[in-house]
Amino acid sequence: MNRRRNLSKSKYINGLQCLKLLWVATNDPTRMPPYSAATQHVFDQGHLIGDLAHQLYPDGINLHTENITDNLTETKASLRLRRPLFEAGFSGNRLNCRVDILNPSLGESWDIVEVKSTNDVKEEQLYDVAFQRHCCQLIGLKINRCSIMHLNRDYIKQGDIDPQQLFLTEDVTDRLGEYANDLEARITEMLAVIDSGECPETVIGRHCNDPYPCLLQGECWAHLPEHHIMTLYSGKKMGEDLLARGILNICDVPEDVDLNSKQQIKKHCVVCGQPHINQEKIRSFMKSLKYPLYFMDFETFATGIPIFDGTSPYQNIPFQFSLHVITKPGAMVEHYSYLAQGKDDPRPGFLFDLKKSIGLKGSILVYYEAFEKTRLKELSKVFPEYRAQTSPARELHPLR
């Protein structure tokens, strides 16, 4: 086993989340499951967003190459040109990183600009930038300011994408102090983990999904029963405490543990193996409904770079609906649906078919009221001609 592997900024973020993840990703990557199609799409979006950010520096030099040695060589030569550099690579003391945008600053110093495909600054991004700054300073590069460039949630596409409006840049230099504290100690620990011949054992918990769902979760959580304590309603912190006590199953939660009403219901259901049925609330709910009954569900997609005019980064775009209708008590269920075809904006077709399928009277039942109501509110603003069908004032009945 190669015991002198370097620590990159992505591996550093792995190590902050879980030292076992760091070790496996570095020393036994075959254990890492492949990324899902959804995760790969996020990565692809990130590359496109990075390319758009480069347009803000028209005289920049793109140093991207898969070969690390070539990247380091080209970076060293390009620094003398004092122009914006994309993917500049630095390595020293077994650390390496590539900087999204390295921009000439005061005197002989440089500014780090990290491009992110989020709508705001996240905590893990500050750890990322602090690590990059440390790597640059190790090889003697003077760093002046550090910024995170992210998407502007208020940007509305009209025509071609305008990178000047699509991005916001936040100077985070003065916020990096706490994220640089103990940085060298963490690096020393992580390098020791990488060099170890044995994979470290770590406890499971909330960190398995923070800041990202860990690819090793299937392996690390395989021993848990179906109704394990981390599935307790709003009880992740409690779940961690119970795991530390060796309690895995919800049915084994001790009586002295203070469960709220919903948690108590779940424990009771697991213990007795029967669903919880509140007949009184069901009867009350049923009495509140008015025919026709519309059981509505729709699907959306969201992209960091808006595709259609009038939309913003990560705005949810409805492209499919399924609608089951019961016109009166005892009537047969009718089904209507819509699925967008092609690459055009699906919302007009979605609304046109929805208008044909749903009446202006009756109760609409949905799975997740807040989500559906927000999407309908957005649609009513952009397409006022369909406001009668999409009015957020129209009552929706949640089915959960």
Each residue's pLDDT tens digit, 122-142: 999 999 999 999 999 999 999
Domain boundary among 272, 307, 335: 272
Which residue, 195, 229, 258, sits at the end of a domain?
A: 195
> What's the rounded mean pLDDT across residues 192-199?
96
Residues 341-351: tens digit of each pLDDT: 999 999 999 99
Are the beta carbons of 130 and 176 closer than 8 angstroms? yes
Which pLDDT score, from 0 to 100, does residue 1 have?
42
Q: Helices (H), strands (E): how many in the chain?
A: 15, 12
Residue 210 lies in a domain: no
Token reading at 367: 């799975």
**214 in a domain, yes or no?**
no
| Cα separations in angstroms, 110 against 58, 130, 141, 379, 380 | 17, 14, 8, 45, 47
Q: What mean pLDDT is predicted for residues 175-192?
A: 96
Q: Are residues 111 and 13 in the same domain?
A: yes
pLDDT at 4 over 90: no
Q: Are residues 102 and 145 in the same domain?
A: yes
> What is the pLDDT at residue 389?
66
Decide if 145 is inside a domain: yes
Mean pLDDT of 365-378: 90
Q: Do 62 and 18 share a structural domain? A: yes
Say yes or no to pLDDT of 181 above 50: yes
Mean pLDDT over residues 43-67, rounded? 96
What are 79-108's pLDDT values in tens digits? 999 999 999 999 999 999 999 999 999 999
Residues 307 and 379 in one domain: yes
**Mean pLDDT value across residues 59-63:** 98
Domain identity same for 116 and 251:
no
Distance CA 247, CA 296 (A): 40
The answer to whether residues 240 and 311 belong to one domain is: no
368: helix, strand or coil: coil
The phi and psi torsions of 383 (rounded to 5 degrees) equal -125, 75
Count Cα neighbours of 154 within 13 Å in the Cβ-side half-sphere. 1
Assess if residue 25 is contained within a domain: yes
The answer on 42 and 148 residing in a single domain is: yes
110 lies in a domain?
yes
Is 283 part of a structural domain of the chain? no
Mean pLDDT of the chain: 94
Whether the predicted pLDDT of 273 surpasses 70: yes
Q: Pull the structure tokens for residue 255.
A: 């009586």
pLDDT band at 242 (very low <50, low <70, confident <90, very high): very high
Asked if residue 239 belongs to a domain, the reply is yes
Residue 205 tokens read as 């918990």
In Å, how far are 6, 265, 355, 391 from 367, measured between CA atoms? 48, 21, 20, 18
- Taking the C-alpha atoms of residue 129 and residue 194, their distance in angstroms, rounded to an integer, is 22
Give me 213's structure tokens: 């769902």
Q: Are residues 293 and 265 in the same domain?
A: no
In terms of domains, do 59 and 121 share one?
A: yes
Do 301 and 251 share a structural domain? Answer: no
Q: Which helix (H) or strand (E) holds 144?
A: strand 143-151
Last residue of a domain, one of 195, 229, 249: 195
Residue 284 CB: number of other CB atoms within 10 A? 10
Flag whether 261 is in a domain.
yes
Tell me: do 28 and 113 sit in the same domain.
yes
**pTM for this model (two decimals):** 0.91
pLDDT of residue 394: 60
Pair 346, 378: CB distance under 8 Å? no
Torsion sign, CA atoms 175, 177, 179, 180: positive
- Residue 3, pLDDT > 70, answer no
Q: How many domains does the chain have?
A: 3
Q: Which residues 6+ apart lie within 8 Å of 400 measured at CB?
A: 367, 368
Best CA proximity match to 189, nearest among 178, 205, 179, 200: 200
Same domain, 253 and 299: no
Q: Is the pLDDT of residue 325 over 70?
A: yes
* pLDDT the model gives residue 360: 86
CATH number of the domain where residue 12 is located: 3.90.320.10
Quote the DSSP letter at residue 55. T
- Tell me the average pLDDT across 144-156: 98
On the question of a cis peptide bond just before residue 398, with omega within 30 degrees of 0, the verdict is no
Domain of residue 236 covers 221-272
User: Residue 26 in contact with residue 11, Cβ under 8 Å?
Assistant: yes
